[in-house]
Amino acid sequence: MVDIVQCMHAVCMDGTPPAYHLDTGSGAGNRSWVVNLEGGGWCNNARTCRFRTGSRHGSSDHMERSIAFTGIMSAAPVDNPDFHSWNRVKIRYCDSASFAGDTYDEALGLHFRGQRIWEAAIEHLLAAGMASAEQVLLTGCSAGGLAAILHCDQLRALLPDAATTVKCLADGGLFLDAVDVAGGRSLRSYYGDVVAMQVVAPNLPKTCTDHLDATSCFFPQNIIDGIKTPIFLLNAAYDAWQIEQSLAPNAADPSGAWRACKFNHSACNASQLQFLQGFRDQMVAAVKGFLRVQQQRAVHQLVLRSLPVRADGHLEQCSRWLSCSPKQGDCKVCR
């Protein structure tokens, strides 16, 4: 683990230095980079944010000094034939707003410096050799997938060589502004708290904030159409995390009518299945504009899986990354 120098007040929530893990490339991959943004949810109030300072998601004091790299991060050619020889980096997640906040809460004594962590980490990596990269792939899963969407164009702008090929891959990061089972918008309310508490608004894409409010611009569906850098979206149409936490959270289901269904779709009644189908339709509708843009570029950069999958991603799970990797036509996602 490499601690990032605490420049520009780039610190974890408890004030400890942020960090990343690096496995250096070799041979033909020496000038190519995979930069992975760690995921791990968010926090939206004093209680949940204080709690995270006692974990790796809020403090580098609780991070492992070394971790295993698997899937797209693996150094094993059999597991990761395309990227095993690249420089592979995991930027640890300790800000709780998808690397996008920028404030200090004096009353709570908490630092929300995700944007500064992102910028400091990239500056650190540029000095470590990424400035002369031939190609860079920015990846992330879940909250890290959202971060990859938010920062995709920013990465292109931060790389000094216009000849560097930059692409992004967001796994399980397509969180929808959906209506829950009680008719409310649980995730919008939650994201609204995150955006306000951590002062995320100034770091959101202007292509979105020029015409929508900041909370709306924390939802990928309102961002992806405006991304100029090539980006690939990998997501479950029936995202299990969103079903459990956004569509049917306990607060929206006090009677427990959805308790069995949200964890086991074979336990759903006809009305519940219809509601879930509606969510799937919203997911498809959310990416229609994105697909039109990609078709104009003559590329295909979207895979929606129909099977219920948690938003914990495919990128770092060997069995899914290769042997069970979803396909676009005859080509596996990893290709």
pLDDT in tens, the chain (335 residues): 656 655 678 999 999 999 999 999 999 999 999 999 999 999 999 999 999 999 999 999 999 999 999 999 999 999 999 999 999 999 999 999 999 999 999 999 999 999 999 999 999 999 999 999 999 999 999 999 999 999 999 999 999 999 999 999 999 999 999 999 999 999 999 999 999 999 999 999 999 999 999 999 999 999 998 999 999 999 888 899 999 999 999 999 999 999 999 999 999 999 999 999 999 999 988 888 777 766 665 444 666 665 555 455 445 543 344 444 555 555 555 55
Contacts (Cβ under 8 Å, ≥6 apart) of 214: 195, 200, 201, 204
Got the DSSP string for 87-135? EEEEE---SSSTT---EEETTTTEEE-HHHHHHHHHHHHHHTTGGG-SE
Architecture of the domain defined by 2-332: 3-Layer(aba) Sandwich (3.40)
d(CA 233, CA 274): 25
**Paired strand residues for 37:** 91, 140
> What is the pLDDT at residue 286?
87
Q: How far apart are the first and last CA of the chain?
A: 29
Backbone angles phi, psi at 251, to 5 degrees: -65, -30
CB–CB of 335/301 below 8 Å?
A: no
User: Structural domain boundaries of the chain?
Assistant: 2-332
CA-based nearest residue to 279, from 251, 240, 253 = 240
d(CA 98, CA 174): 13
Backbone angles phi, psi at 123, to 5 degrees: -60, -40
| Helices vs strands, H then E, count in the chain | 10, 12
d(CA 170, CA 318): 17
- 310-335 in b/e form (b: 16+ CB < 10 A) is ebbbbbbbbebbbeebbeeeeeebbe
d(CA 69, CA 21): 9
- 89-123 in b/e form (b: 16+ CB < 10 A) is bbbbbbbbbbbbbbbeeeeeebbbbbbbbbbbbbb
Q: Give me 99's structure tokens.
A: 């690397």
pTM (2 d.p.): 0.90
Got the DSSP string for 242-305? HIIIIIS-GGG-TT-TTHHHHH-GGG--HHHHHHHHHHHHHHHHHTHHHHHHHHHTT---EEEE
Tokens 């230095």 appear where?
A: 17
Q: What sign for the dihedral angle of Cα 124, 149, 180, 279?
A: negative
> What is the pLDDT at residue 317?
46
> What is the pLDDT at residue 289?
72
> What's the longest Cα–Cα distance across the chain?
59
* CA-based R_g, the chain, Å: 19
d(CA 91, CA 270): 43
Q: Give me 159's structure tokens.
A: 């790389």
